[in-house]
Structure 1
Amino acid sequence: MARIGYARVSTTHQDLALQLDTLTAAGCDLVRAEKVSGSTLAGRAELRTVLDFIAKGDALVVTRIDRLARSIGDLQDIVRELRAKGARLQATEQPIDTGTAAGKAFLDMLGVFAEFETNLRRERQLEGIAKAKAAGVYKGRPPSIDAAQVRALKAEGVGPAEIARRLGIGRASVYRILDARAQG
């Protein structure tokens, strides 16, 4: 029965040291760590490795559940996968142990709050962008395609596929630019 630690931070400039120290002190036999967003399970190779190799009787240990998942759906998927393998989830800083009824209930409550926090942060970010756009401060990403160049090539009789090839852009982008001009 192994205790396998998992540590995660969202960005490369954040430090994993505190989580690693905590998981080692909690008796983890092995600790996997990565610097990647927790908003999705995609692209989380270290977590996937842990989930692939965890065995019956083992425990996946995290410091807090938000280090594991930011959505209740992802969290439930992870817990179901652990349960199917006969393993459990534990958190060092929260009373979570999916081996107990109380631990399962607390996990579900914290998962809801983690997702709520993510949604609030997203709403605040969108509000800030809308406010900045209204004030003329935020213009978004500058266009990466020169629409005038696309139209000039079309005027020369060059087809959309060839325009896309010459400019190194997608054909759909060419059609979008030409369609916008036709409608505008």
Structure 2
Amino acid sequence: MIIGYARTSTVEQQAGFEAQFRDLQAHGCDKIFSEQVSSVNSQRLQLEQAMDFAREGDVLVVTRLDRLARSIANLTQIVASLENKKVGLRILDMSIDTNTPTGRLLINLVGSIAQFEREIMLARQREGIAKAKDKGLFKGRAPTARRKSDFVMQLIADGKKPTDIAKELNIGRSSVYRIIAEHDNQSTAG
């Protein structure tokens, strides 16, 4: 069985989503799993279901590598999981098919090159940050939860519980408690 997997990061990417469906159907996919979630911050339930659904001899097909894996470690994990089930992987835009010796070689080469590029990019980023710090220009990323302090305190005033606030604002529960404690400290100090 040929199983397709389509993903976009947001629902606004409808044209890309439709293009993936078109390409997967044209490739002869018998079943297509799809979702519109970020690969970075979200659990990809449909990908997990597609991989669970696949049986020995099946092939999982994606249109592009970035629709499947978020990192080389993630790619390696997915490929290993599929190999353990004796399920092949096809990446259409790169003409990679892990059912062939050349495909297995290419997936490893592509993964290794991607890992190398990422490490080079991170090294340059660290160098740039170090230079910016030396010049006093780098302050770091503003804490995400602290930017929502006013919202947290408003929701507390409205009687909401910290766990519910954390879910609503998509921040950690400990961040909610930290914001409350900082607010209480400022109130008693002032």
TM-score category of the 2 structures, normalised to the smaller one:
0.5 to 0.7
* Residue of structure 2 equivalent to 1:155: none
- 2:177 is equivalent to residue 171 of structure 1: yes
Question: Contact between 1:61 and 1:90, CA under 8 Å: does it hold in 2?
Answer: yes
Change (3 A) 1:110 1:38: farther
> Distance in 1 between the 2:160 and 2:21 partners?
47
> Distance in 2 between the 1:108 and 1:139 partners?
37
Question: Contact between 1:39 and 1:69, CA under 8 Å: does it hold in 2?
Answer: no
Aligned residue pairs total 159
> Distance in 2 between the 1:5 and 1:172 partners?
44
Once the two structures are TM-superposed, the CA of residue 48 in structure 1 deviates from its matched residue by: 0.9
> Distance in 1 between the 2:83 and 2:30 partners?
20
- 2:111 is equivalent to residue 145 of structure 1: no
Specify the code of the residue in structure 2 equivalent to 1:17: E
User: Where does the alignment leave 5 or more consecutive residues of structure 2 unmatched?
Assistant: 163-175
Once the two structures are TM-superposed, the CA of residue 83 in structure 1 deviates from its matched residue by: 0.9
Once the two structures are TM-superposed, the CA of residue 20 in structure 1 deviates from its matched residue by: 0.8
Specify the code of the residue in structure 2 equivalent to 1:19: Q
Offset from partner CA, 1:50-80 (integer Å, 9 cap, x none) = 0111000000011111110120111111111
* Residue of structure 2 equivalent to 1:23: 24
Change (3 A) 1:81 1:139: closer
Change (3 A) 1:68 1:23: same
* Residue of structure 2 equivalent to 1:156: none
Question: Contact between 1:70 and 1:114, CA under 8 Å: does it hold in 2?
Answer: no
Change (3 A) 1:64 1:118: farther
Change (3 A) 1:165 1:18: closer
> Distance in 1 between the 2:98 and 2:67 partners?
16
* Residue of structure 2 equivalent to 1:48: 48
Change (3 A) 1:104 1:182: farther
TM-score, length-normalised on structure 1?
0.67
- 2:74 is equivalent to residue 74 of structure 1: yes
Change (3 A) 1:139 1:60: closer
CA RMSD of aligned residues (A): 3.9
Q: Computing the radius of gyration over CA atoms, which structure comes out larger, 1 or 2?
A: 1
Change (3 A) 1:49 1:139: closer
Q: Greater helix percent: which structure?
A: 2
Question: Contact between 1:59 and 1:88, CA under 8 Å: does it hold in 2?
Answer: yes
> Distance in 1 between the 2:187 and 2:119 partners?
39
Structure 1 stretch displaced more, 169-178 or 99-108: 169-178
- 2:11 is equivalent to residue 5 of structure 1: no
* Residue of structure 2 equivalent to 1:95: 95
2:20 alignment partner, SS class: helix
